[in-house]
Amino acid sequence: MTVITEELKAKAEEIKNEANVCFKEKRFSAAIEKYTEAIEINSNVASYYTNRAFCHLKMESYGYAISDSNLALKIDPNFTKANYRRASANMALGNFKEALKDLKIVSKRAPNDKDAKSKYEECAKIVRRIDFEKAIENNEQKQSVASKLDVDAISVDPSYDGPRINDETKEVDLPFVKALVHHFKGQKKIHKKYAFMIVLAVYKFMTDAPSLIDVKIPADGKLTVCGDVHGQFYDFINIFETNGYPSEKHAYLFNGDFVDRGSFSVEVILTLFAYKCLYPGHLFLARGNHETDNMNKVYGFEGEVKAKFSDMMFNLFSETFNALPLAHVIENKIFVTHGGLFSRDNVTLDEIRKIDRIGQGQPGSDGLMCELLWSDPQPEHGRSASKRGVGIQFGPDVTKNFLETNDLEMVIRSHEVKEDGYVIEHDGKCVTVFSAPNYCDTVGNKGALINITPDLKKEYITFSAVVSISNV
């Protein structure tokens, strides 16, 4: 056992202070390295672990944050900050009951902490609502919103000056979609009747599709693959304005996480759904980990939909998200999914195609569906526990096995912020693409997209955030 001298303790404190400076400068990866260095010198200080946990929270590595909080509580079971950090991580993962246990402890120990009290009340409210909803489901057969919704019965006031879908054809056409985009640019709301019509049409289309979709690139055109856009409407529309709008010659594949975080998730998802109605064979949408109820409760989409429309509208979105496919294969060679690969080798495309995503609904905490939405690549061979606390981390050998098993050439996934918008890993066989520049208005990253031609040549394009009228 190493004796920790006063000199070593002082050295660890000096490094911790350097880490604190990195944290204040929002250099979270550098701060993590420094806190880790301090821990390696003196592993008996609980605050080193909670400081590192805070960095992991900022990096969305919730599994690591929980692990560090546990280590801090092992050193000092009464270290309240560790309970608070663990609660924050569990809330971020949608583990509300686990979070509530820690928040009760924090509230008792620090009754005058307004932030802790607010988070406790928020979490308790969510837990009560979840329990209430489960009780209702247990007492009566839950009826699908899609099955009982009668859009024809919804009237539109003559004073409504927004885009309209033709009452006779009920079809989403190009003039409507163009008018819709213009309407949203002006931060105006579409009438609920037309919003319901768009979402319902996509729901009906998606329920007939398998969990894995085969994609063909237009023979005389291209396919653009985009990653997370997270409700950043003006950055999202900037993709179309600079790279070309969807058409029969220019297909798009948006690889999940359309909503949450940003302030205009409703506008982003309705625009995507409208284009899906317009070009069903040329606009592809994959489910991300944020197209789930737990994430939507925490990160804003549920509240935004209910504020702009209603509970019923959110429930219809939830049903539609359950119907979104989990993966795509481009020209039989490029596998595209939001998160990543699996906790076992030799998973086949046919297995993925047959996942009962609609019957399962929410992805749960393990299994193929969960891993498709949550997993991340790692540079080391093999597999390890997820830094997020859900899914796994997979190495180059795992990618190689999956590609060889299914006669594929590469994996494209999203799910992670990258400084330059994209990163190529695993000997060029695994690409991450992220399309929300300056994520959360704070990170400063570029966004990226991938243009792919029929001969599978790839062009990586990066772009910066635009200045919208919402943040001038």
Q: Which of 137, 171, 191 is at the close of a domain?
A: 137
Q: Which of 240, 259, 254 is nearest to 178 (CA)?
A: 240
pTM value is 0.91
Q: 13 with 55, same domain?
A: yes
Q: Is the pLDDT of residue 467 over 90?
A: no
Asked, for residue 132, whether it belongs to a domain, the answer is yes
Q: Which of 73, 102, 137 is at the close of a domain?
A: 137
Q: 62 with 196, same domain?
A: no
Q: Which of 69, 372, 329 is nearest to 225 (CA)?
A: 329
pLDDT digits (tens, 9 = 90+) for 9-36: 999 999 999 999 999 998 999 999 999 9
Catalytic residue among 282, 290, 338, 415: 290
Q: Which of 137, 169, 188 is at the close of a domain?
A: 137
Q: 105 with 215, same domain?
A: no
- Residue whose tokens read 């609980």: 46
The reported pLDDT for the residue numbered 469 is 47
Q: 126 with 161, same domain?
A: no
Per-residue pLDDT band for 131 (boundaries 50, 70, 90) equals confident
Note whether 316 and 203 are within 8 A (CB): yes
Q: 174 with 109, same domain?
A: no
Q: 319 with 230, same domain?
A: yes
Number of domains in the chain: 2
Asked, for residue 238, whether it belongs to a domain, the answer is yes
Q: 228 with 279, same domain?
A: yes
Q: 274 with 397, same domain?
A: yes
Residue type, 357: R
CATH number, domain of 41, equals: 1.25.40.10
Burial of residue 466 (number of CB atoms within 10 Å: 0-12, 13-18, 19+):
middle
pLDDT digits (tens, 9 = 90+) for 76-95: 999 999 999 999 999 999 89
Q: What's the whole-number average pLDDT of the chain?
A: 94
Asked, for residue 32, whether it belongs to a domain, the answer is yes
Using the CB atoms, write b or e for 428-440: b if 16+ within 10 Å. ebbbbbbbbbbbe
The reported pLDDT for the residue numbered 137 is 66
Q: 159 with 293, same domain?
A: yes
Q: 311 with 359, same domain?
A: yes
Asked, for residue 468, whether it belongs to a domain, the answer is no
The reported pLDDT for the residue numbered 144 is 86
pLDDT digits (tens, 9 = 90+) for 284-329: 999 999 999 999 998 999 999 999 999 999 999 999 999 999 999 9
Note whether 364 and 370 are within 8 A (CB): yes
Per-residue pLDDT band for 134 (boundaries 50, 70, 90) equals confident
Residue type, 302: E
Asked, for residue 143, whether it belongs to a domain, the answer is no
- Cα distance between the two ends of the chain: 58
Q: 155 with 201, same domain?
A: yes
Q: Is the pLDDT of residue 1 over 90?
A: no
CATH number, domain of 175, equals: 3.60.21.10
Asked, for residue 393, whether it belongs to a domain, the answer is yes
Number of helices (H) and strands (E), helices first, in the chain?
Answer: 19, 14
Note whether 65 and 51 are within 8 A (CB): no
The reported pLDDT for the residue numbered 135 is 76
pLDDT digits (tens, 9 = 90+) for 369-420: 999 999 999 999 999 999 999 999 999 999 999 999 999 999 999 999 999 9
Q: 409 with 319, same domain?
A: yes
Residue 14 belongs to domain spanning: 6-137
Asked, for residue 472, whether it belongs to a domain, the answer is no
Is 250 annotated in the active site?
no
pLDDT digits (tens, 9 = 90+) for 172-210: 999 999 999 999 999 999 999 999 999 999 999 999 999
d(CA 237, CA 229): 10
